[in-house]
Copies of this chain bind each other. A is one copy, B any other.
Amino acid sequence: MANDFVISNVKMFKPNGSVEVANIHITNDKISAITQGEVTGAKVIDGKNKFATPGLVNAHTHASMTLLRSYSDDKALMDWLQKDIWPIEDKMKRRDIYWGAALAAVEMIKSGTTAFADMYGPCMEEVAKVVDESGLRGSLSQGIIGFADGDKKLAANVELYKNFHGAANGRITVMFGPHAIYTCPPDFLKKVVGEASKLGAEIHMHMNETKTEIEDCIKNYGKRPFEVVAETGLLDLGMLAAHCVHLSDNEIEIIRAKKVRVAHNPGSNMKLASGIAPVTKLLDKGVTVALGTDGASSNNNLDMLEEIRLAALLAKVDTLNPLAVPAAQAIQMATEFGAKALNLKNVGRLEEGCKADIVLWDMSGVEWQPNYNPTSLLVYSANSAAADTVIVDGQILMEGRELKTLDEEKILAEFKACANRLTGN
């Protein structure tokens, strides 16, 4: 942690959504200055023909599910889960969680992601290890199913929080991860509130993903999911709510009033045919809407640039308004709003005093030409292979597409061994 360098002469995405050419000075873990003009006497990364944005924040994923990528697709939801996904997940061991998350880290860095909110388990301490080693930022939560071994999982989440919240210079944070209203009854959620509130921890939970979930909730509790959850006290702890596809006006009002942050997962919601989240309605109410990929078995990648594009395109066709979610707003959702969603302070903006979480996108490909508007090009034309240099907390994790903290070859070999053992291939 003795970083001291400058990214010179780079087109930079500013917090207000405009672009200007500047030098970004990095000292230790922070952006120490943003200047104009020539730079001398320092370690310099040449920013010419690069576009600098804040690092992308994946606000909802299940990293180790990379192990299940392409194992089961184009199936009905319950067939997919019950026949294919859950039986394999039941077999996952400590090393699977580690190598699955390690491959996810490689994939995230190579596509410009610098922080992620992960809900999975068991052995979330293995994901913490990957976050530590990779140099990424991770907000981790133990996925808790209230039935069966809920109390054990809740205890594991407590341990995770105690051992890792704030670790690795604050790059690791911990939330509590009650899975969803259909797997965690209200009485169990109250237990979660009890444990999390003792620690001051926040909540990461799947909310209102499918129509069936809403219908079952109304059948069981006479109310919609956010109404039930609000009564448990869970929302008062601070919640990152993934999906939020099907929302009543009253639920949108609850989300606004309780400052729930929403992780919109357009790729997953489209692929699983869950529906289209009312993103513009939420944004209009001032709600923080971030973006996430969901797990790699329902997406099927961890490519945040795709989610940025899908969010911008889907909002337009859904509202029949070509002005909905313009390019700069889509980038903000994946950066500044992502950082807010994960409750990361001074992250997600390229300005003095903020954490140095930065991606340099290489604009040399023909799909970046002509270059009238890098923001528009990144959102509507580029692909994530343009991620050239990735910096987190002032540390360079990738430069010229070469990984600096992770051994891709070794990870790939160990990952394949895990996948083969899990599926018996």
The 4 closest A-B pairs by CB, nearest first: A270-B313, A370-B419, A74-B326, A385-B385
CA distance A319 to B76 in the complex (A): 13
Partner of A270 from the list B314, B374, B377, B381 (CB cut-off 8 Å) is B314
A380 near B271 with CB under 8 A, answer yes
A415 within 8 A of B: yes
Within 8 A of B (CB), among A241-294: 267, 269-276
Within 8 A of B (CB), among A42-74: 66-67, 69-71, 73-74
A77 contact set on B, CB distance < 8 A: 322
Please, could you name 6 A-B residue pairs with CB atoms under 8 Å apart, sorted by A?
A70-B372, A74-B376, A273-B317, A303-B383, A366-B408, A369-B416
A35 within 8 A of B: no
A322 near B381 with CB under 8 A, answer no
A384 contact set on B, CB distance < 8 A: 383
Name the residue of chain B whose CB is nearest to the CB of A75: B322
CA distance A74 to B312 in the complex (A): 10
CB within 8 Å for A321 and B369 given contacts A70-B381, A74-B376: no
Name the residue of chain B whose CB is nearest to the CB of A371: B70
CA distance A274 to B320 in the complex (A): 7
A382 contact set on B, CB distance < 8 A: 301
A415 near B270 with CB under 8 A, answer no
Name the residue of chain B whose CB is nearest to the CB of A385: B385
B313 near A267 with CB under 8 A, answer yes
A207 within 8 A of B: no
B300 near A377 with CB under 8 A, answer yes
A300 near B70 with CB under 8 A, answer no
A296 contact set on B, CB distance < 8 A: 381
A380 contact set on B, CB distance < 8 A: 70, 73, 271, 299-301
A383 near B381 with CB under 8 A, answer no
A316 within 8 A of B: yes
On chain A, the number of residues with a Cβ less than 8 Å from chain B's Cβ atoms is 71
Partner of A71 from the list B310, B322, B323, B372 (CB cut-off 8 Å) is B372
A110 near B383 with CB under 8 A, answer no
CA distance A296 to B323 in the complex (A): 18
A76 near B323 with CB under 8 A, answer yes
A370 contact set on B, CB distance < 8 A: 67, 69-71, 415-416, 419-420, 423
A159 within 8 A of B: no
CA distance A300 to B408 in the complex (A): 32
A412 within 8 A of B: yes
A314 contact set on B, CB distance < 8 A: 270, 317
CA distance A60 to B271 in the complex (A): 25
A145 within 8 A of B: no
B423 near A372 with CB under 8 A, answer yes
CA distance A312 to B66 in the complex (A): 21
A231 within 8 A of B: no
Closest CB in chain B relative to A179 CB, distance in Å: 20
B322 near A369 with CB under 8 A, answer no
A327 near B369 with CB under 8 A, answer no
B66 near A369 with CB under 8 A, answer yes
A324 within 8 A of B: yes
A402 within 8 A of B: no
A131 within 8 A of B: no
Name the residue of chain B whose CB is nearest to the CB of A420: B370
A373 within 8 A of B: yes
Name the residue of chain B whose CB is nearest to the CB of A109: B366
CA distance A257 to B380 in the complex (A): 37
CA distance A303 to B106 in the complex (A): 24
A107 contact set on B, CB distance < 8 A: 366-367
B273 near A320 with CB under 8 A, answer yes
A75 near B323 with CB under 8 A, answer yes
A420 contact set on B, CB distance < 8 A: 370
A308 contact set on B, CB distance < 8 A: none
Partner of A73 from the list B76, B369, B373 (CB cut-off 8 Å) is B373
